[in-house]
Amino acid sequence: MSVISLPRQRLEKTRGSFSAEVSQLLAGFRQQAIKQLTIYTVWLTITTICVFSKLLTFCIFFTKANSAALIAVWRETGMRL
């Protein structure tokens, strides 16, 4: 075993250890990103459902109000339905 081969073995061992740490770090980031994306997707879905529900309720109410007003106008003018 030469003197030069010892530092090279240490360097290769350190490089392998560093590579494993980087892989673990990237896996952690990936898991965190998937978790955040899931949370945002659920939030966006719930928000979209709520907004469309409110919009639908408003449209139904507005249609009923217009229908009632139209029927009242028809009755006032003597038109038959």
pLDDT tens string, the chain, 81 residues long: the values are 555 555 666 666 666 677 778 888 888 888 999 999 999 999 999 999 998 888 888 877 777 777 877 777 777 777 665
Which tokens sit at 3? Answer: 């003197």
Question: Would you state the pLDDT for residue 38?
Answer: 95
Q: Are 16 and 22 in contact (CB under 8 A)?
A: no
Residue 12, pLDDT score: 65
Per the confidence metrics, is the pTM higher than 0.85?
no
Phi-psi region of 80 (alpha: psi -120 to 50; beta: other; left: phi over 0): beta
Residue 25 has a pLDDT of 86
The DSSP string of 49-62 is HHHHHHHHHHHHHH
pLDDT at position 7, please?
A: 60
Cα–Cα distance for residue pair 1/4, rounded to 1 Å: 8
